[in-house]
Amino acid sequence: MWREVLSVIGGAGRALGRTFSVAPPLLLKRRKALGIFEKGLQAQGLDPKAVEELTALYKELGNLEQWLPNSKK
């Protein structure tokens, strides 16, 4: 019984460790993608205000808190 409990705790610890090791690079990639998206819109000659609004919406789409059912609003 204790072996299973320790196995579950160890597995959870490994999962959290992997999550924390993967998160920073993903956040950097997200920031880079936002910049590429904004530059692409500007290159198409869109109004700066429209570019700003579309970039904000694109950023909001990638916000994980909106996809979680218990997120505070």
| Helix orientation angle between 2-43 and 48-61, rounded to the nearest 10 degrees | 170
pLDDT digits (tens, 9 = 90+) for 8-26: 888 888 887 777 777 778 7
Q: Is the pLDDT of residue 51 over 90?
A: yes
Q: Is the pLDDT of residue 68 over 80?
A: no
Query: Which residue type occupies 61?
Result: L
* The pTM of the whole model exceeds 0.75: no
pLDDT digits (tens, 9 = 90+) for 25-37: 878 888 899 999 9
CA 72 to chain centre: 17
pLDDT value, residue 73: 52
pLDDT value, residue 71: 55
CB 56 within 8 A of CB 34: no
